[in-house]
Structure 1
Amino acid sequence: MRDTEMKNQRVLAMFSSFFAAAMLGGCATAESPPKFPDPQSTTLTGGTFVNVNNLRNVGPGLTKDQMVDLLGPPHFHEGIVAVHVWNYLFNFRRGSETVTCQYQVQFDSHMKVSGTYWRDPSCAGFLEPTALTASAPVEVETKPVEQFTLQSDTLFAFDKSSLDSMLPDGKAKLDKAIEQIKTHEGVSEITVVGYTDRIGSVAVNRSLSLARANTVRAYLIAHGLDRSLVHAQGVGSSQPISHCPDGSLREVINCLQPDRRVSIVVKG
């Protein structure tokens, strides 16, 4: 009887191990060099024309919610939640020709963007600004008509960037800014720029500033501003406005408060 029980326990353990391995094998995991799926297996036949400005804002540190806001859900069958790889099929215009490119986003163990890849590296050229030619129409110069600057300490909880972490005072200030923006006619562009102080690494500061700018962008869009006009940038600590001593003491951190900000520039 004891031998039978022990045999049953071994069979159950083997089955559990097999089941766990199967579950892990079903999850899309990050690989280097990246492996791309067959473009014919996409859930979005023919791909989609991507917003290039949104694509330029993709970078390390973004969350999956921010990626969905920028690019939408992935275009293949890898799933959304417990996976580390999303694949997209994007279309671009080259004169009268349509070029289709495969794009991959990889996530780290915290489900934040760790890297992005093109199946054809030349597709990255579509993100470069188009140079004006002699025959191209000259764009009408747009000028800032208004600018709002909001302190990050008022907008977000410490070291946070999500919509859930926005503070009531920050939302109230954003609501007033949105009301003022809506009074302007002929608005052609709204740029949200995130800034941080110098405390911390350059990479972390840039990611945090971009994540906060994207959250503010999403808030503006949710409150009635045109999605196609609102863009987000994160410049980290590269543009300080304070003059504070070195170090990271509490007094220095307080002195650096003006550097921790989000600006909204309205052009028309």
Structure 2
Amino acid sequence: MLHTLKDFSLRAGSLLAILALSACGNLSQVTGQGTTDKPVWPDPAHASFTNGSYPNLDSLRLVGNGMTKDQIYSLLGRPHFSEGFAGVREWDYLFHFRTSNGDETCQYKILYDKDMLARSFLWKPAACADVLNGQKPAAPATFALSSDVLFGFDSAVLTTKGRVAVDRIANQLRQRNDASVTVVGYTDRLGSEPYNQALSQRRADTVRLTLVNDGVEPGRVSAVGKGESAPLVQCNNGKQSELIACLAPNRRVEIVASGSH
């Protein structure tokens, strides 16, 4: 009898521990009002609903403030990630939408208040909210420039032609409504890897600063150097001059604009 009670006590303790953990499954710090200042998005690769789903837009448009979990479940189905079982005030979905440019993938987050009523509805990227207005999410724009045009050999100072090229792109970015602009610098494989990494970062920083000076909001623009990674071409060793010319496409700066305010 004592052994049976002991086993029951252990099992009950394990169950309570599981329930306690499941009640703390929120990814973000959700307030009692169903809001968060810093939403945390799950990795799409970890979706429990494999590969996400293609939602019914009419059902998605019916989701609104003050709805219960049962009401949202009837419209969208179960959440696509395993945040927990009980007491969870954050549901995440992985949605795909058909567009003329192919499928667009978006993450959708619903936050619940302390009474388990839906209060906040978030998208990643933010432009995905446009699908509810009959618009497709804006496709990212990429501007690629040869670093040989932008910079002199072994330099992070813009050439005259390089300044003109970046000014032209800045003008286009000011006319767009992108949430973020990322400047990515690359080098070829000549030289040491640490040196190439540092050079690519300096060049990306220079382009970023020029965009900001040209009127692109500083909070929207970031810069990253990726050194000799992601080469566009592979070249055999040969004469130095021929090798440098062959590797030219790898020496580049890319400016990627995506999302919307």
TM value normalised by structure 1: 0.48
